[in-house]
């Protein structure tokens, strides 16, 4: 393991702890960085379970694709899936190669296959290619995690350009349509699709007009798709995070002012760490959740949805 990962918080995932003090609480330092943000630049460093996630073969032999698997929630899911025995492909933007390579090393260290797929989800052909390349490399696809997103805060509708609106919808909604459409012909009974919506789907932040609208669309899309897929034995569920300590936030997802108090507004009084959501994605991908489909799962530090 690199020196960097040595400095990540250490904790045993099964040790009983006080969730109030388990992880850093606000205030946080200002730390602007351009989008897409890099995990490598975050202070304090997020915890993706590098030193804590322990697998038990819950996904042994499965083949997974995770968009945005380089950083944040996607990285934590990639680590957990690999340690549970799945081969893991990650999609990410070319400028995120540094973060992605760190994840590829962690997947390989778990003794499973890793596949790095850089490119832009706003392009339909890239989305289709992500599915085809994963199927080709792993010999199939059993788990699709649609997790990548664009989030740019703006105080007023007057500041949202058509380009921003278009890119947010292409990344968050169109890509989900293109990915699922290409994936479904490859999915066997028992396969699962997991989408990432947000608390913004039902409690939209006024400074995230376009983003919140895409997150509501993802929630509806997942519910409708789950109905279509049931007769094929394929399940689809949506995860709805509240505030999570990821590179999405300092890179334009929030104002620096809001970042300083990020997570303060939820009952637990702090942001979640990516490591704290990974086990939910494992549950929804594994056979343990065989009767769960069409669900929406808030993971918000206690803020009600
Ligand atoms: P993140 O920045 O670490 O991950 C988002 C990823 O999206 C990036 O790593 C990037 O690889 C990918 N991406 C963005 N645009 C892309 C494009 N055009 N082509 C290919 N990839 C692209 O941040 P995160 O917080 O881990 O985000 C993961 C998911 O969690 C997102 O769907 C986000 O909306 C959701 N979410 C996050 C929070 C939070 O507070 N962090 C809250 C609610 C929901
Ligand atoms: Mg990233």
Ligand having the closest approach to the CA of 274: 1
- How far CA 58 is from CA of 74, 200, 259, in Å, comes to 18, 31, 36
pLDDT along the chain (305 residues), means of 10: 44 87 97 95 96 96 98 98 98 97 98 98 98 98 98 98 98 99 98 98 98 98 98 99 97 96 98 98 98 98 97
Helix H or strand E encompassing 137 = helix 124-138
- 91 and 132 in contact (C-beta within 8 Å)? no
Alpha carbon 295 to its chain's center: 17
CATH number of 59-299: 3.40.50.720
- How far CA 298 is from CA of 57, 112, 217, in Å, comes to 25, 30, 16
Given 53, 81, 92, 211, the catalytic residue: 211
Distance between Cα 290 and ligand 2 center (Å)? 30
Query: CA geometry: angle at 53 spanning 106 and 130, to 5°?
Result: 45
pTM confidence score: 0.97
Alpha-carbon span 128 to 179, nearest angstrom:
6
Say what the pLDDT of residue 15 is. Answer: 87
pLDDT tens-place string over residues 247-293: 999 999 999 999 999 999 999 999 999 999 999 999 999 999 999 99
Choosing from 23, 37, 68, 273 the residue with most ligand 1 atoms within 8 A of its CB, the one to mutate for a pocket test is 68
β-sheet bridge partners, residue 89:
65, 115
Alpha-carbon span 216 to 211, nearest angstrom:
9
- Secondary structure (3-state) at 236: strand
- Secondary structure (3-state) at 164: helix
């Amino acid at each position: 393991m690199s020196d960097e990962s040595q400095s990540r918080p250490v904790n045993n995932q099964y040790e009983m702890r006080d969730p109030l003090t388990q992880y850093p609480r606000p205030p946080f330092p200002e730390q602007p960085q351009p989008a897409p943000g890099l995990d490598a630049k975050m202070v304090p460093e997020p915890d993706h379970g590098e030193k804590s996630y322990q697998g038990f073969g819950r996904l042994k032999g499965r083949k997974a694709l995770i968009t945005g698997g380089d950083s944040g929630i996607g990285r934590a899911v990639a680590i957990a899936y690999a340690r549970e025995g799945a081969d893991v492909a990650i999609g990410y933007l070319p400028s995120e190669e540094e973060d992605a390579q760190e994840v590829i090393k962690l997947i390989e260290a778990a003794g499973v296959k890793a596949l790095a797929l850089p490119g832009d989800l706003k392009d339909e052909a890239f989305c289709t290619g992500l599915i085809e390349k994963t199927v080709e490399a792993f010999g199939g696809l059993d788990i699709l995690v649609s997790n990548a997103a664009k989030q740019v805060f703006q105080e007023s509708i007057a500041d949202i350009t058509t380009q921003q609106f278009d890119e947010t919808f292409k990344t968050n909604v169109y890509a989900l349509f293109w990915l699922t459409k290409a994936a479904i012909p490859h999915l066997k009974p028992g396969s699962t699709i997991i989408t990432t919506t947000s608390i913004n789907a039902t409690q939209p932040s006024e400074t995230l007009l376009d983003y919140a609208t895409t997150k509501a669309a993802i929630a509806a899309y997942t519910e409708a798709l789950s109905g279509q897929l049931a007769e094929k034995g394929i399940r689809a569920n949506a995860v709805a995070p509240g505030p999570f300590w990821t590179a999405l936030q300092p890179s334009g997802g929030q104002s620096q002012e809001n970042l300083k108090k990020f997570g303060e507004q939820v009952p637990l009084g702090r942001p979640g760490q990516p490591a704290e959501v990974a086990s939910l994605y494992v549950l929804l991908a594994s056979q343990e959740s065989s009767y769960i489909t069409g669900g929406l799962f808030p993971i918000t530090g206690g803020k009600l949805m």
